[in-house]
Structure 1
Amino acid sequence: MKSDYFKILPLSLVLFLFNTMVFAQNNGFVKEKWHWDNPAKQDSSAGYVQVVKVDNVLYISGVVTNEVTPKGITDVYRALEQSLNSFGATFQHVVKENLYTTDMEAMKKYNSYRKSFYKNDFPAATWVQISGLYMPEAKLEVELVAHLPKDQLN
């Protein structure tokens, strides 16, 4: 009897793993996309989307600037604001911010321009100084994760 159990167990395990993989690949979640004024809602050449919404979470791709100055920082956060607004969100919905810069000292110096967009409701944040970004001339890139209220779901 014990030996029959072990003969059946591997088959059961294989069937369980197969079913898990099938359902994981087709788990029924919906990705909504927004990409500036692009009717395809994504950039095919670089292979990315500006905003992906899954359930009530917005994943916002990085926005870059070539200058870590008040104007450059303000331009980045205005573009991020447009990304948030594409699904009815604001900076008060942002829960995570990742900031990458080639000039951390300038970012610290002009941080007040960034902070003004959050209106004293700051997210969890990670700032990293790096040697370069995808666009070689870029000096700052900021990406966000935001949560929409459950009652704001489509």
Structure 2
Amino acid sequence: MKTKNLEKVEVKMETPDYFMLRPEVEKAYGYSHAVKIGNSIKISGAVSMDDEGNPTAVGDFEQQMKNCYSDLEKVLKHYGCTFDDVVKEDVFTTDMPKFLEFAGYRTEIYKNHFPTGSWLGVKELALPEFMIEIELEVHKPN
């Protein structure tokens, strides 16, 4: 019977780094907008809201979508990333036909390649005025 020499592998413990884009709103709702562990960043769903948590661009799907990407870009910049670092994008919408109408806007966001992800039609989001929510997973290269 042969025995194998086992290598000793050193495992580095990563401490999560939490980021709040709108601390008061996020504390009130009980979430962090992003968490980074190692090279991975999970970004909570962005919606179209102001700094007090009030819905913006009510009834304007295209502008709500743009507002989501604007907030997501702020979170990415906080971590020194761009949309090129996004590996997964999930879109939740209460109006899939409207999303499909404006989905071409994503070519202005993802200039080099599209991430994986899902587009999900949902009955409702956190507030009735929200029509779209976008969450991301990011891989930050070393």
Q: TM-score range by the shorter chain?
A: 0.7 to 0.9
The residue matched to 1:53 in structure 2 has which SS? strand
**Gap regions ≥5 residues in structure 2:** 1-11, 49-57
Return the structure number with greater relative CO, CA threshold 8 A, min gap 6: 2
Q: Answer yes or no: is 1:122 the counterpart of 2:105.
A: no
Q: How many residues align?
A: 122
The one of 22, 27, 32 equivalent to 1:49 is 32
- 1:104–1:85: structure 2 CA closer, same or farther, 3 Å change rule? same
% same residue: 33
Q: TM-score, normalised by structure 2?
A: 0.78
The one of 116, 125, 139 equivalent to 2:131 is 139
Question: What are the Cα deviations for residues 34-82 of structure 1, in whole angstroms up to 9, with x where unaligned?
Answer: 11253x8x83221100110000111000011344633221111111111
- 1:37–1:142: structure 2 CA closer, same or farther, 3 Å change rule? closer
The one of 43, 68, 73 equivalent to 1:81 is 73
**Gap regions ≥5 residues in structure 1:** 1-26
Counterparts of 2:132 and 2:16, CA distance in 1 = 27
Q: Contact 1:68–1:107 at 8 Å: present in 2 too?
A: no
Counterparts of 2:59 and 2:76, CA distance in 1 = 22
Higher helix share: 1
Q: Contact 1:74–1:114 at 8 Å: present in 2 too?
A: no
Counterparts of 2:137 and 2:124, CA distance in 1 = 22
Structure 1 residue 89: Cα displacement = 0.6
- Structure having the higher Rg: 1
Question: What are the Cα deviations for residues 92-112 of structure 1, in whole angstroms up to 9, with x where unaligned?
Answer: 000001100000001011111
Q: Contact 2:41–2:137 at 8 Å: present in 1 too?
A: yes
Structure 1 residue 134: Cα displacement = 1.4
What is the aligned-residue RMSD (CA, Å)?
Answer: 2.0
Counterparts of 1:141 and 1:71, CA distance in 2 = 12
Q: Contact 1:93–1:148 at 8 Å: present in 2 too?
A: yes
Q: TM-score, normalised by structure 1?
A: 0.72
